[in-house]
Amino acid sequence: MLAAITGRTSSTHGYPLRMVEAAEARLGFAIPEALRDYYLSVGRHELNRVHNRLWSPGDLEVSHGRLVFLEENQCVIYWGVRRRTTSADPVVFQTMDLDDGEWVAEVRCSLFLPAMLCWYAASGSMPHMGYTDQLPHVTARRMVRGWPPVGRSSVHSAYIRDGQVVCIEESGGDAVVRIGTRNRRDFDTLVSEFAVGVHEA
């Protein structure tokens, strides 16, 4: 996934196994497989700190039965999975209050984690980025027809094609499309292909 976005991959992009195992020993249980694999493969990459912050293995903690692993950049929203789960790919939940907040279900880790990685890339780290004004949801969906979907959250879906990243942020019947590319030529080509107004970020 990371290589499809950045064109590069390295073993240093993931946390060392010993750090993950130390976290599991401290917590007293195994981290679910999908989340564990994410930490080991790309968890250390800077993309995970562009907007929301993926907690390091040493910072993982349990709050009200949830293993918390991600916080929004202004500490308004937190994400976690059930501490007592036998699922290798558990559902992610979000809350606005770690002490006494309601936990609301998102989607499974295997969908949520790639979607967030793409959103970070298209909205804060790729060399060339842009976004549309609000569009009808059906128009946004038509723009990515034929694009391979790679993940989604409760509010956005993500797509990657040839190093180009597209995220659709949905709100009611409208959507904002964010795009990110590695080079200028791909950016201009994508803007021309989509044939809608794109503000360069």
b/e map 91-128, b = 16+ CB within 10 Å: ebbbbeebeeeebeebebbbbbbbbbbbbbbbbbbbeb
Whether the Cβ atoms of residue 132 and residue 199 lie closer than 8 Å to each other? yes
Do 79 and 159 belong together in one domain?
no
Q: What is the pLDDT of residues 133-192, one digit of tens each?
A: 999 999 999 999 999 999 999 999 999 999 999 999 998 889 999 999 999 999 999 999
What is the reported pLDDT for 73?
84
CA distances from 27 to 24, 60, 79, 172 (A): 5, 8, 17, 39
- % of the chain surpassing 90 pLDDT: 87
Let me know if residue 95 belongs to a domain: yes
- Taking 70 as the pLDDT cut, the residues of the chain under it are none
Do 84 and 132 belong together in one domain?
no
Q: What is the CATH number of the domain that holds 80?
A: 3.40.1580.10
- Structural domain count of the chain: 2
Strand-pairing partners, residue 79, are: 70, 94
pTM of the model: 0.93
Do 98 and 45 belong together in one domain?
yes
Residue where the block lists tokens 């989509």: 194
Let me know if residue 118 belongs to a domain: no
Do 68 and 101 belong together in one domain?
yes
| Averaged confidence pLDDT in the chain | 95
Do 90 and 173 belong together in one domain?
no
Do 9 and 49 belong together in one domain?
yes
Which segments of 39-185 are extended strands (E)? 53-54, 61-63, 66-71, 78-82, 91-95, 104-108, 128-131, 135-136, 149-152, 156-161, 164-171, 174-181
Report the alpha-carbon distance of residue 109 to residue 58 in Å, rounded: 20
Listed residues 80, 108, 136: the one ending a domain: 108
Do 181 and 93 belong together in one domain?
no
Let me know if residue 117 belongs to a domain: no
Report the alpha-carbon distance of residue 166 to residue 147 in Å, rounded: 9
What are φ and ψ of residue 183, in 5° steps? -140, 165
Which segments of 10-108 are extended strands (E)? 53-54, 61-63, 66-71, 78-82, 91-95, 104-108
Do 31 and 62 belong together in one domain?
yes
Which residue range is the domain that position 71 belongs to?
A: 2-108
Query: Which residues make Cβ contacts (< 8 Å) with residue 71, sequence separation at least 6?
Result: 52, 53, 55, 77, 78, 79
